[in-house]
Structures are given as structure tokens and as C-alpha cells.
């Protein structure tokens, strides 16, 4: 059976690459520290020696809109083009082509259906920065095949936090059952408290520093009971109009299981708190 080598949950700040590769005189004050933290986080994936990446993210209305927005979708393509024009223009993110892992995609899709998750699928999926930013930060050589999974964190009605946790547990079961000797890592990106286009967007911290502190503690300690007792759609909205991306981080903890993280770090940037969490299920990375 396959080995789940590592599970990573991270925020996906689209300006990371531009902010840390600009001429030094043009960089933000936190750029050097940001780069050091990301490179340290990258090592948590590198030492797990993954051979396949299961990538969890959310489409930012690039190819799904209110006329047809799936709650959950899996990519089943042999390869994936990445980066939309506005992401190149605004964030300086280059184009990518990632290899897909069709066999694991098919196996996972069947397993999810059998567990009551009626996933949509795409054989022509294009990836946006929710998946490409974690590739840039954790596997910049982009040399491993991927199984992309998209969730709905933007278009109400949204699945519940409990549904995201349950989906993570189902994905873990499927990875454990996959008939292969491959080492698989799961990488998912979302948000802590976040405001996009609202009055709290341009403060010097994230819109709800107390939520950020609690969320990192809950993820780091594997405290799913506290998350499900305290995190609702309404509470996330009070913490910022885009805070619902935290549910993708709940999903990642579901894949790992309710276990303490092996690695936890964060960085306060202008208007956002970045988080970097890694779990090693059953001591997979020594």
C-alpha cells in the first residue's frame, strides 16, 4: 500500500515570489524573513521524499463561476496548465505545466464516491495560484505528478467545516488503500483571517489576530474538537470576508488525523498572517 509521507497546510500569498525576487531596494521589509521561513518550511516536505503530491486548493473564479461552481472537484488529466493571465500580470507568477497522476486520480475519485462524496471531475482543469503558490514555496522544481482537488470556499452555500474534516479523513483512507509502493504527500492551501476588498483589508495585521492565534494553535495541536465547536460560517465571516479558506486547512488536518503537528511556523505580514504547518503521519519522515 502507499505511504502517506507528509501533510502540509499553508496559506497561499500570491505576492511571495514577486516580493522575494525583486531587487533588494524594492523589497518589503519582511522579505528576507519571509524567504527564510518558506525555505525552512520547504525542508519539511523535502525530507519526506514524496513521489506524488495530492494538492488541495480553491478556484478563485478563474474557471468556475456562479452559473456552475462545484462543491468539490478532482482533476483527472495527464497534465495541467497553470497560471491565469491576471496572476501573471498582478502577482508575477510564471506559467507552469504540471504532470498529472491519472491512476491515483481515478482511484481517489472512485473511493470518494464510495464514501458518499459526489465529486465533480475535470479532464481539462487549469490550476490557479491556490495550487501554484504552494508549488513555488514547497516544491519549486515542480517535478512531481499531482492530483489536484478543488473545494468551494467562495460561493455560498458552502459545505460545513465538519464536511471538510470528514473529506480529509476520507482522502486519508483512500491514500492508505492505494495499491502502490509510492510515497504520497498532501499539500493544501487556504487562509487564516482574511479580508478581500472590504474595509479591513489594508490594516497592518490580519483582520482578526485573535482568530489567527487560535487557529494556528488548533492546527498545531490537532484540536479538531475546538475547531468544530468554535468555527462556523458565521464566525469566519466575522473574522474577515475571505476567512472561509480556513476550511481547506481543516481538510488537511483531516488527512493527517487529529495529531500534533511536527512543524508549525507563522509570519505576520501587512494585512495577513501566513501559516506553515506540517504533520508526519505515523512517523513517516524520519
Per-residue confidence at 201, pLDDT binned at 50, 70, 90? confident
- The pLDDT value recorded for residue 286 is 42
Instruction: Give the C-alpha separation, 3 to 285, whole Å.
Output: 10
Neighbours of 102 (CB within 10 A): 16
In three-state form (DSSP H/G/I as H, E/B as E, the rest C), the secondary structure along the chain is CCEEEEEEEEECCCCHHHHHHCCHHHCCCCHHHHHHHHHHHHHHHHCCCCCEEEEEECCCCCCCECCECCCEEEECCCEEEECCHHHHHHHCCCCEEEEECHHHHHHHHHHHHHCCCCCEEECCCCECHHHHHHHHHHCCCCCCCEEEEEECCCCCCCCCHHHHHHHHHHHHHHHHHCCCCCEEEEEEEECCCCCCCCCCCCCCCCCCHHHHHHHHHHHHHCCHHHHHHHCCHHHHHHCCCCHHHHHHHHHHHHHHCCCCCCEEEEEEECCEEEEEEEECHHHCCC
pLDDT, tens digit, for every residue of 78-111? 999 999 999 999 999 999 999 999 999 999 999 9
Q: Are strands 79-82 and 96-99 parallel, antiparallel or unpaired?
A: antiparallel
pLDDT, tens digit, for every residue of 132-153? 999 999 999 999 999 999 999 9
Instruction: Give the C-alpha separation, 15 to 170, whole Å.
Output: 32
> Residue 32 contacts by C-beta under 8 Å, 6 or more apart in sequence?
none
pTM, rounded to two decimals: 0.96
Instruction: Give the C-alpha separation, 278 to 286, whole Å.
Output: 13
- The pLDDT value recorded for residue 197 is 85
- The pLDDT value recorded for residue 185 is 98
Q: What percent of the chain clears pLDDT 70, i.e. is strictly above it? A: 99
Query: Where does residue 247 rank: exposed (0-12), middle (13-18), buried (19+ CB within 10 A)?
Result: buried
Instruction: Give the C-alpha separation, 15 to 241, whole Å.
Output: 20
Per-residue confidence at 285, pLDDT binned at 50, 70, 90? very low
> Residue 43 contacts by C-beta under 8 Å, 6 or more apart in sequence?
none
Question: Mean pLDDT score of the chain, rounded to an integer?
Answer: 95
Is-contact 191 58, C-beta < 8 A?
A: no
Asked if pLDDT for residue 263 goes beyond 70, the answer is yes
Instruction: Give the C-alpha separation, 76 to 147, whole Å.
Output: 7
Amino acid at each position: 500500500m502507499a505511504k502517506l509521507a507528509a501533510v502540509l497546510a499553508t496559506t497561499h500569498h500570491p505576492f511571495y515570489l514577486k516580493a522575494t525576487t525583486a531587487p533588494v531596494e524594492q523589497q518589503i521589509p519582511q522579505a528576507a524573513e519571509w524567504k527564510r521561513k518558506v525555505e525552512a518550511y520547504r525542508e519539511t516536505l523535502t525530507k519526506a521524499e514524496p513521489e506524488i503530491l495530492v494538492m488541495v486548493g480553491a478556484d478563485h473564479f478563474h474557471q468556475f463561476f456562479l452559473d456552475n461552481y462545484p462543491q468539490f472537484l478532482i482533476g483527472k488529466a495527464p497534465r495541467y496548465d497553470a497560471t491565469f493571465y491576471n496572476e501573471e500580470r498582478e502577482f508575477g507568477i510564471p506559467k507552469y505545466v504540471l504532470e498529472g497522476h491519472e491512476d491515483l486520480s481515478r482511484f481517489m475519485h472512485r473511493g470518494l464516491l464510495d464514501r458518499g462524496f459526489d465529486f465533480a471531475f475535470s479532464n481539462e482543469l487549469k490550476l490557479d495560484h491556490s495550487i501554484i503558490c504552494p508549488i513555488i514555496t514547497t516544491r519549486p522544481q515542480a517535478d512531481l505528478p499531482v492530483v489536484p482537488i478543488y473545494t468551494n470556499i467562495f460561493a455560498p452555500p458552502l459545505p460545513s467545516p465538519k464536511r471538510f474534516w470528514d473529506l480529509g479523513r476520507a482522502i486519508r483512507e483512500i491514500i492508505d488503500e492505494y495499491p502502490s509502493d509510492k510515497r504520497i504527500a498532501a499539500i493544501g492551501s487556504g487562509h487564516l483571517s482574511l479580508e478581500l476588498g472590504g474595509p479591513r483589508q489594508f490594516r497592518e495585521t490580519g483582520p482578526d489576530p485573535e482568530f489567527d492565534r487560535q487557529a494556528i494553535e488548533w492546527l498545531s495541536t490537532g484540536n479538531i474538537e475546538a475547531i468544530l465547536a468554535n468555527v462556523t460560517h458565521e464566525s469566519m465571516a466575522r473574522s474577515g470576508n475571505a476567512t472561509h479558506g480556513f476550511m481547506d486547512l481543516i481538510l488537511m488536518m483531516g488527512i493527517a488525523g487529529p495529531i500534533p503537528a511536527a512543524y508549525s511556523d507563522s509570519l505576520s505580514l501587512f494585512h495577513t498572517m501566513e501559516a506553515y504547518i506540517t504533520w508526519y503521519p505515523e512517523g513517516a519522515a524520519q
